[in-house]
Structure 1
Amino acid sequence: MMSVSLMLAWTSVAASATPFFVSHPYYSYFYLPYRHYDTTGSLWNPNAETFQLEAESSDIEGRTPVRKVFADHSSGNSASEIEGRISASLRNAFPNLAASISSPLTSLFANPALLTLGLLDGTSCTSPNAEAGICANSRLCSSYGGRSSGSCNSFGSVCCINTVTRCGATVTLNNTYWQAPTTLSAESTCSLSIKLDPTLAEQRRHPICQIRLDFEAFSIAGPNTQTVCATDNFRVSGTANRIPIICGQNVGQHMYLIAPSSTADIQLIFTLGTGTAQDRSWKIRTSLLACSSTSLLAPDDCLQYFTQSTGTVRSFNWREVSPSAAGQRQLNNQDYNICFRTEQIINTNSFPRVSSSICYTPCVITTTAVAPQMPPLAFSLTGDSSGSFYLAGAGAGTNFNQCPNTDYIVIHGAVDSAAPNNFNDRFCGNNLNPSALQTSVTLCSTAKPFNILYRTDGSESNAEFANNGFCLRYEQRAS
């Protein structure tokens, strides 16, 4: 019924002396008018020359999104001008777009009513093979470099998968994958720009506050013996939060980037050096998170944010292997918060309760021991891990400086789950233990919000060698 009504509306408009697209702001071709009603409850008046859009906002961990009010001014009645604005917007959204797009747009403009039916819905979707995409018309998807995979509930929409496979591209679209080019030369830089602009059609209804990066593939050269990413590295610029430089193997890791303002260009940059046989590859999913998506946004001071009641948290470049004498696993200058959303827990009586504590246990290592670290350790921060076990403990007895101000994690209010009288906040060594012992224990904390602070200094000293970082299993519990 809705489609019939819209088509009839188009027929009526087409018969009028003034073309439909002349009096409509260009973004209306992608979305039905948003929150625009007059005092009588009627839909937005298309003849209004100017108007304002007020984005929905909410406080998130004490922060109010920076984007409040946006304005659009219809600058003219020229169809070519409007078409040009859409062309530029879509070329940004679909970086693999061909050089000339006049032909597809000409045919699309022939029937503006279809554009209001969701050519660029923008809703997130998942393809049958578990890839993330957005809902869009199949013709638009293929015309602008995307790949149709599965369908959406929107009228005539498919799940459009968009992948960028070149350096220097700019993306503006949610759920875009950035994949390494097939050929990468040494001594080079490969970058991607993420453009955030609430005047773009694809971001107008849902201004962006954060970007989540998911590393579905990530393999570049690791750090040197001083834990410095000296050959290859990955860095991010243009964000409101500090992002550490990383390298090595980071499949399955993620980061949250905080947008600094309503309009910003955020850069993802790989710098590749020489002198390594390492195969470089990556596939990074870029999720643009709207300010209104309160359940998905991370607190501002969190680089990583886990939204399940159980899971695994690891330092960057951690792997279930021993670090070698030539290449460490731990990375230098890591200084960030890892946060965990408080979840509801279903107990044995199937009664949901909000979790009251979170517990951490070192991961189980199953690989064969290889020198210099024997056996491989799920937790090793500070000290020489190539020989005997370096004692754990963040303040055993009266010595509260057992973990020096170099490499450590902080878990506020952590206690030994089996011995509540053993507690502390700072942890290092080869074992996760609040006491100076050669065994790891399960640590639990009731301090909220749940988080871990991870810090490493500029490089390893002679007394610090073969550290792996950490891999911890976490579980939220309800008392």
Structure 2
Amino acid sequence: MISRQEIFCLLLAATCLVNGEPEPRRRAKLVSGLENDQPIGSNTNNNQTGSSREGKVFSLFNVVQFRNGGCRSTSTISGGGTGSTNRNGTCFTTDECTSRGGSASGSCAAGFGVCCVFLVSNSGGTITQNCTYVRNPDFPNSYATSSQISYNIQKCDRSVCSLRLDFETFSIQGTGNSLEVDTALVPLDPGGVCLDTFTVSVNTGQNIPTICGQNTGQHMYVDIGNLASDTAQLNFAFSGSSNNRQWEIKVTQIPCNTQGHPNGCGCLQYLTGLTGRLTTFNFMPTNDNHLANQEYSICIRQEAGFCCVEYTPCADIGSFSLDTNKMLMMAKIETECSVDYIGIEGGQGTCSGSANPTAGVNKFCGDKFNSLSKQMFDAPVCDCTAPFRVDIFTDDDVDVGDMGATANTKPSRGVCLEYRQIPC
């Protein structure tokens, strides 16, 4: 029979051997009973004696292996007026989490791992771990200075091709104009120009718009490239002093050809589900203008058994206002929309499932959302031409005023649309 002192010596020797091995080999030693949810060293056969007792002892020295998958941490986000939510993390051992610069926030893998959360706040910081949260310095306090801030994103694995940026909290200065142009002459006071700016830099040629203002809850998909050395950079630039600058952006790295993601399809935003809402950037405040120089696509994943998408303006006041005119508060379509508009291929007034894209409406603007021109009311617009997408276009010029005057006093907030998919 093995004495307690002998067990202690064996345990100490085995621990030293295990800890002295390289990480991949050490963690490859599996606990055979773990697959059946048995504790380390457990054995279902209680009648084993002699040499089997030695097997029980040595099962204590095997190391648990678990996937470094996603986990829900105990660290919470409480910004944006949406209530508290838990940050996502990655399941690591305690030592792995510490060595990678993360913070243990809760447990995972049946208590054998910790949910490791990665936070980067310092300007010039480098993101190397998947699911990293980028925050302003001194978060959750506002960023009080006007020095430019940037973050560098490196791939956590060479298989990564794209990024998803989720704006958990996003508040910087917007355009500062409640109208696309106030009372100055058009060439001297362009509306929609950002005071502060957020830009994303990649070398793939993707057209990523410059944004500003209030964008909590928005997201972007970024094509980072398929080379192991490809990187991305997030940049904040500021104009003057402000006490409302605060941001937290979750950076998720997505492998090439991942199902359920818009890799390589030209979608800056990608929405899923039978119903949802889409808005242009900086739509949420009621006292700021839509952004200038926007050109991107919002895509909606087609669900099985559904052939059309119906769009209606949100219940908010002024949920559709692009290329507005004070005296002409009506819907404009097609050639009437030349500066700011949205594109929906083959838009029609009914969702029959047999819409003809050549007969449909492709451009929408004005003060009302309707597939018929010069209507004074909103109406649903249906798209039965998959893949489903809404294209956003705004230029860097202001809207003209009444009957071609140089000033326009009509607000132009942008677009908020509710969508629902229609069965075939």
- SS at 1:356's partner residue? strand
Residue 289 of structure 1: aligned partner: 254
**Cα–Cα, structure 1 residues 32 and 289, in superposed 2: closer, same or farther, change >3 Å?**
farther
Alignment of 1:302-313 (within 5 A): 302-313=267-278
Summarize deviations over 1:400-443 as a string: whole Å, max 9, x none. Answer: x2212x10001011111389899411100011102210101111
Task: Check conservation: 1:135, 1:158, Cα contact below 8 A.
Answer: yes
Residue 42 of structure 2: aligned partner: none
| One-letter amino acid of the structure 1 residue matched with residue 234 of structure 2 | L
Report the Cα offset of residue 308 of structure 1: 1.7
**Equivalents in 1 of 2:217, 2:26: separation in Å?**
34
**Equivalents in 2 of 1:219, 1:390: separation in Å?**
31
Provide TM-score, normalisation by structure 2: 0.73
Task: Check conservation: 1:117, 1:155, Cα contact below 8 A.
Answer: no
1:417 aligned to 2:371? no
Residue 6 of structure 2: aligned partner: none
Task: Check conservation: 1:258, 1:300, Cα contact below 8 A.
Answer: no
Alignment of 1:210-249 (within 5 A): 210-225=162-177, 226-240=190-204, 241-249=206-214
Alignment of 1:320-469 (within 5 A): 321=286, 323=287, 328-344=288-304, 354-365=305-316, 376-384=317-325, 387-395=326-334, 401-404=335-338, 406-417=339-350, 423-435=360-372, 436-463=374-401, 465-469=410-414
**Equivalents in 2 of 1:166, 1:231: separation in Å?**
22
**Equivalents in 2 of 1:180, 1:203: separation in Å?**
26
Q: Which moved more, 1:454-463 or 1:222-231?
A: 222-231
Residue 173 of structure 1: aligned partner: 129
1:189 aligned to 2:148? yes
**Cα–Cα, structure 1 residues 180 and 229, in superposed 2: closer, same or farther, change >3 Å?**
farther
Report the Cα offset of residue 471 of structure 1: 0.3
For the aligned residue pairs, the C-alpha RMSD in angstroms reads 3.1
Task: Check conservation: 2:351, 2:383, Cα contact below 8 A.
Answer: no
| Number of equivalenced pairs | 343
For structure 2, list consecutive stretches of 5 or more residues without a partner in the other structure: 1-9, 30-60, 75-84, 178-189, 402-407
Task: Check conservation: 2:143, 2:243, Cα contact below 8 A.
Answer: no
Report the Cα offset of residue 150 of structure 1: 3.2
**Equivalents in 1 of 2:307, 2:166: separation in Å?**
28
1:266 aligned to 2:232? yes
Structure with the larger RCO, 1 or 2 (CA within 8 Å, 6+ apart)? 2
- SS at 1:141's partner residue? helix
Report the Cα offset of residue 31 of structure 1: 7.5
| One-letter amino acid of the structure 1 residue matched with residue 128 of structure 2 | T
- SS at 2:266's partner residue? coil
**Equivalents in 2 of 1:381, 1:214: separation in Å?**
26
For structure 1, list consecutive stretches of 5 or more residues without a partner in the other structure: 1-6, 34-111, 197-201, 345-353, 366-375, 396-400
Report the Cα offset of residue 444 of structure 1: 0.9
**Cα–Cα, structure 1 residues 337 and 230, in superposed 2: closer, same or farther, change >3 Å?**
closer
Report the Cα offset of residue 168 of structure 1: 1.0
Report the Cα offset of residue 309 of structure 1: 1.8
**Pick from 147, 161, 164: which aligns with 1:209?**
161
**Equivalents in 2 of 1:311, 1:243: separation in Å?**
23
Residue 45 of structure 2: aligned partner: none
Larger Rg: 2
Task: Check conservation: 2:346, 2:361, Cα contact below 8 A.
Answer: yes
Alignment of 1:105-124 (within 5 A): 117-118=65-66, 121-124=67-70
Provide TM-score, normalisation by structure 1: 0.65
| One-letter amino acid of the structure 2 residue matched with residue 383 of structure 1 | T
- SS at 1:296's partner residue? coil
Summarize deviations over 1:275-333 as a string: whole Å, max 9, x none. Answer: x5341000100011112522234443110011222110000000152x3xxxx420011
